[in-house]
Structure 1
Amino acid sequence: MCCAVLAAVVPLDLDTIIIDLVAVPLLVLWWRRLVHSLLRWFVLWRPREKKQQQSRARPRLAFYCHFPDRLLAPGASFESVPTGVGMATRTETSWHRCLRTAYRALVDALEAVSIAHADVVLVNSQFTARVVERVFPRATRYRRPAVLYPPVPASTETPMEAESMKSLPKRPFVLCISRFERKKNLELAIQALSLLRSEAQVRKARLMLVVAGGYDERLAENVTYFAYLQSIVQEHGLNDDVVFALNVSDAVRDALLRRCLVLAYTPSHEHFGIVPLEAMRSGKPVVACKSGGPCETVVDGVTGLLCPEPVTPASFSNALRTLVLDEEKRRRFGQNAVDRAQKCFSRSAFGDRLIQLLGLGLSVPL
């Protein structure tokens, strides 16, 4: 609602208006632009004024879609295009479910209609582009989504307080950064570490796993999933080898990325995934699932290793073993990762690509 109100008052004397995440403002801006154009033709009748008005570029409407909202709702999947209503909960009445179904139907319809009013549709990865074309076939029939990879800021050394330094592990560690949500599949990293512990060299090095991420005790999913991960740690006898770092500061997060051996990125079918880029920026190789965004950011065998789907703890553990036990390969992959992050995913690369897309016809995506 707030975005729609802002769209109703934003000035139209701009070259381009970029809408991010929420598509509804596109509908408001499109109709405002149409009314404005009609008023110019019917009210401004003098030839000189008509010529001046016609020379002014009307604002182009661009929408940056990170992922369709309907596929982020509960009950959504990649195999189909549902409304996201999902299964009824035990405490949900039939009346509440009817209201939720009507709400999702309205929101999904508004999203599809709004995206159809964009002049340019930008997406964060080729994976997202394929999903958007499948979910919104009418809106993308004549304007194929163009890929604009999100940028990762340059790595900076930031001073850290003494207390923050104490929180960093002293032993070599594999790092896993993610929100504590079941779809992030964090148990994969824990199970992979358990298999790694069978290696004598790994036990001698006292390798550990650090799982860092956002945690909100008000969210039931965060609480239940965190308890589930703790139970897995106890089941495998890894209490001294797995550390959970909740809601770490940016300084600690960057320090963890600089000091880890490898980043373990566990989600499958991730839309884009900024964490692998942050690790690559810090000169660290990445082990990830061979699906979604990491297929476009991580070069298998060059900047990291990609595990074919369906990923198992054994395959993920083997990939980690390859990098953990080979220091020279880690160093080489890390340098390749820095070069790729700077060349393809820097802010300057993002700006150049954005200018190119908004200045050209955009008939062919990346």
Structure 2
Amino acid sequence: MSLKLGMAVAWTWIFLIVFLVTAPVLLLVLLGWLLPRRSARSAGQKIRIAFVHPDLGIGGAERLVVDAAVALQNHGHEVEMFTARHEKDHCFEETRNGTLKVHVFGDFLPRRICGRFYAACAYLRMCWVSLRILLLSFAGGFHVLIVDQVSICLPILRLARPHGIIFYCHYPDYLLTTKSSVLKRLYRFPLDLMEELTTGMADQIYVNSSFTAGVFAEAFPLLDCLGIIPSVLYPPLNLQDQDSNASKAGELSFLKPGEQLLLSINRFERKKNVGLAIRTLAELPSELFAKTKLVLAGGYDERLPENVEHAAELEALAKSLGVAEHVVQMRSVSATQKASLLRHAAALLYTPDREHFGIVPVEAMYARLPVVAVNTGGPLESIVENETGYLRPQDPKAWAECVAKLLRDTELRKRLGEAGRRRAREKFSLEAFGKILHGSVEQLDGDLSKKSKKSE
């Protein structure tokens, strides 16, 4: 059997298996809508909330989920987190120091098969986690469920009969993949259909920016026609944690007296477009370049091929442009290390294109750091042009002009930095985020209580 024929047979089987999975999911969707909700909680009983997230590692989505859980816990609710993966040496402190109660189910299931089928494996793992939550529901269960990233598990969670389900959509999953072949499109079709149908099963849908809300409407036309419109809830910044980390910030050994620092904070992934920061450095006037360092900091997992490959690609790019001696890679930095970088940097270079939101610019603004970012996506909502930073197209020369201006003018950096701190405090605080989410939880629980009283 030829390799092509073998691949065709394999894809055919995968296609059939996916469809076999789709049918019961659709039945679960119907059953989930027909089942009555759990009876109202008794007087004085706290609202029990379960967060369901695929992988509690280190990233923007994970930071949001952890902050949301802590915020609701601070409002007096009982909060527990459920995930398929949680490694104590690669997670946020709140998930390992006892602040949050974390349950791990399904870690034995594969994350990929032969380097492929990431989505199908993620769906399988989340369904397994949801089945375990369903089993727990027979012994009491939860009043409100909060799910993000993967909606395929909502039909199963509906069977647990919660008072309400909140789904936080960071970005439609099917837009995060390329459909480069007919077979890939056949494989993705049922998954994409299930994503749209199951997303609509949430009682409240939030997205992380107005940009994502627009993408949501385009990606899910059926939900849009049904009038299912998500609300915008910006990811929060825990100002107390930021202040605590800043108080522990230290010196940077690689930064010599008289040198200035440019900072990029992103995971080592190609979609983060970090090469733009290196090209910007190469375009700086020689007198500024000679005394400037660029730090590429961010999440890095040596088990992920893309992380390893892209780190090497960035090193190669720096060498090819003759700036390697001015570029420093810092992988999987701690909160204290990040605070040290933010304290000593002259500007943040935020390079992702069409980023859904991006919490890093907000962190930088709170640290009084001007931001230069691509003029698309979430940064258009977080950064104010000429007030907290600069928004520019992906042109290294245009970026270098902004950076040179900041490197030369201390007063300009100070003015933009102070404005950024005010904006971060007023618009993106954890308190503001928690208040909105708490109100949503109370409303879902209250609506159920009202219905229960009417039925009595």
Query: Given the alignment, which residue of 304, 315, 319 partners 2:402?
Result: 319
* Offset of residue 113 of structure 1: 1.2
Distance 1:232 1:19 in 2: 39
* Offset of residue 24 of structure 1: 2.2
> Partner letter of residue 61 of structure 1?
I
Q: Tell me if the contact between 2:134 and 2:159 (Cα under 8 Å) persists in the aligned partners.
A: no
What is the aligned partner in structure 1 of residue 275 from structure 2?
Answer: 187
The equivalences for 1:133-282 within 5 A come to 133-140=217-224, 141-154=226-239, 155-158=242-245, 165=251, 167=253, 169-170=255-256, 171-198=259-286, 200=287, 202-203=288-289, 206-282=291-367
What is the aligned partner in structure 2 of residue 328 from structure 1?
Answer: 411
Q: CA offsets, 1:114-158, max 9 Å, x none?
A: 111122110011111111111112123312110000101112244
Q: Tell me if the contact between 1:123 and 1:145 (Cα under 8 Å) persists in the aligned partners.
A: yes
Q: CA offsets, 1:63-114, max 9 Å, x none?
A: 11111111222x1xxxxxxxxx435xxxxxxxxx84x655433322221111
| 2:214 is the counterpart of 1:110 | no
Q: TM-score, normalised by structure 2?
A: 0.63
Residues 10 and 30 (structure 1), Cα distance of their counterparts in 2 relative to 1, 3 Å cut: same
What is the aligned partner in structure 2 of residue 67 from structure 1?
Answer: 171
Query: Given the alignment, which residue of 199, 210, 213 partners 1:126?
Result: 210
Distance 2:307 2:264 in 1: 16
What is the aligned partner in structure 2 of residue 28 from structure 1?
Answer: 156
Q: TM-score, normalised by structure 1?
A: 0.77
Distance 1:328 1:146 in 2: 38
Query: Given the alignment, which residue of 405, 424, 442 partners 1:341?
Result: 424
Distance 1:237 1:21 in 2: 40
> Partner letter of residue 114 of structure 1?
T
Query: Given the alignment, which residue of 134, 148, 152 partners 1:8?
Result: 134
Distance 1:250 1:351 in 2: 22
Q: Tell me if the contact between 1:7 and 1:28 (Cα under 8 Å) persists in the aligned partners.
A: no
Distance 1:267 1:63 in 2: 25
Distance 1:157 1:120 in 2: 33
What is the aligned partner in structure 2 of residue 42 from structure 1?
Answer: none
> Partner letter of residue 5 of structure 1?
L
The equivalences for 1:58-97 within 5 A come to 59-73=163-177, 75=178, 85-87=179-181
> Partner letter of residue 265 of structure 1?
Y
* Offset of residue 29 of structure 1: 3.4
Q: Count how many residue pairs are aligned between Structure 1 and Structure 2.
A: 310
* Offset of residue 312 of structure 1: 0.8
Distance 1:14 1:226 in 2: 42
Q: Tell me if the contact between 2:263 and 2:345 (Cα under 8 Å) persists in the aligned partners.
A: yes
> Partner letter of residue 283 of structure 1?
R
Q: Tell me if the contact between 2:282 and 2:289 (Cα under 8 Å) persists in the aligned partners.
A: no
* Offset of residue 322 of structure 1: 2.1
